[in-house]
Amino acid sequence: MTIEYINGKYLSSGEAAVPLEERGHQFGDGVYEVIRYYNGHGFMLEEHLERLEKSAGEIRIDLDGGIGRIKEIIEEGVEKSGLKDCYVYLQVTRGIAPRNHLFPKETKPSVSMTVKPASALTRDMVENGVAAVTHADERWANCYIKSLNLLPNILAKQTASEKGCYEAILHKDGRVTEASSSNAFIVKDDTIITTPLSREILPGITRAALKDVCDTAGIRFDEQHFTVREMKQADEVFITSTTSEVLPVTTIDGDPVKDGKPGNMTKLVLELFQARTQNR
Ligand SMILES: Cc1ncc(COP(=O)(O)O)c(C=O)c1O
């Protein structure tokens, strides 16, 4: 069953729980993680916890009880859900206090979580790939922090959806950063290329897993910048995220990528990635 949790309390579905003066609610003053459980196992759970700790630290939220306490909350929630394949959404905010931009004193962070059944990607998406649009990256300077402030991401993805597309691939003056809710990759001459880590992109956990998969399999994986133009001329394009795994992108701005079908390298790394999710 689906689980809803906040600050030590499990809720019945839809039960009101967040006071109006909760800083996540009023300011988006917090950070979050999305973790996928495969067959009862939190895939790259430690890496997600480390990223949460880093995100929280960067915005100066002290995790009450540290990352160990967060792990206990997640594991208890998943156990209560009885779900073996699920998504854990966990967010930490600066807590509940009278509205004021300044940090409240002596306010404990709020920790909330949902655990929901994982939905497999549709066969159509995996077999035929998805459509994407390109969109200006209008986000702030610290996109390596997994912040609750997702307004530019939401607007970009909504624009994509209104054009019948699944994802918006973001760029700064023609240089690709990542996508609205995933990391972006191209394949050129059998080499996988993705934007190097910096403050401009989220260090995706799926990206890290894929890099490791490629290292193990001897597939060339280059972290270097590429342009929208290079992407449109690439052999293959794909995106990665916890919920999308490895997803081929077969049209961009209405034009097919190569022959408009998922490429062999994308299929190969998807297979290798999926094998890894089952083996850990
Ligand atoms: C902006 C952005 N980039 C990349 C990702 C992929 O990260 P991960 O693989 O850790 O899910 C996400 C996931 O939500 C995201 O929102």
Whether residue 84 lies in the annotated active site: no
**What is the CA(255)–ligand 1 centre distance, in A?**
25
**What is the CA(70)–ligand 1 centre distance, in A?**
20
The atom of ligand 1 lying closest to the CA of 201 is 3
**What is the CA(218)–ligand 1 centre distance, in A?**
25
pLDDT higher than threshold 80 for residue 124: yes
Contact present, 80 and 4 (Cβ < 8 Å): no
pLDDT tens profile 54-96: 999 999 999 989 999 999 999 999 999 999 999 999 999 999 9
Of 147, 183, 244, best ligand 1 pocket probe by most atoms within 8 Å of the beta carbon: 183
Residue 227: phi and psi, rounded to 5, are -100, 170
pLDDT at 14: 79
**What is the CA(241)–ligand 1 centre distance, in A?**
5
Pick the catalytic residue from 80, 146, 172, 267. 146
The atom of ligand 1 lying closest to the CA of 146 is 16
Q: ∠ at Cα 48 (5, 125), nearest 5°?
A: 90
Of 149, 150, 169, 182, best ligand 1 pocket probe by most atoms within 8 Å of the beta carbon: 182
Residues of the chain with CATH 3.20.10.10: 123-279
> Residue 120: pLDDT band by 50, 70, 90 thresholds?
confident
Find tokens 């990607």 and name the residue: 121
For domain 3-117, give the CATH number: 3.30.470.10
pLDDT tens profile 242-277: 999 999 999 999 999 999 999 999 999 999 999 999
Enter the DSSP assignment of 79.
H
Residues at CB less than 6 angstroms from ligand 1:
34, 153, 178, 181-183, 202, 204-207, 240-242
CATH number for 123-279 (one of 3.20.10.10, 3.20.20.70, 1.20.58.390, 2.30.110.10): it is 3.20.10.10
**What is the CA(105)–ligand 1 centre distance, in A?**
32
pTM of the model: 0.97
Rounded mean pLDDT, 15-28: 94
CB-facing half-sphere around the CA of 252: CA atoms within 13 A: 28
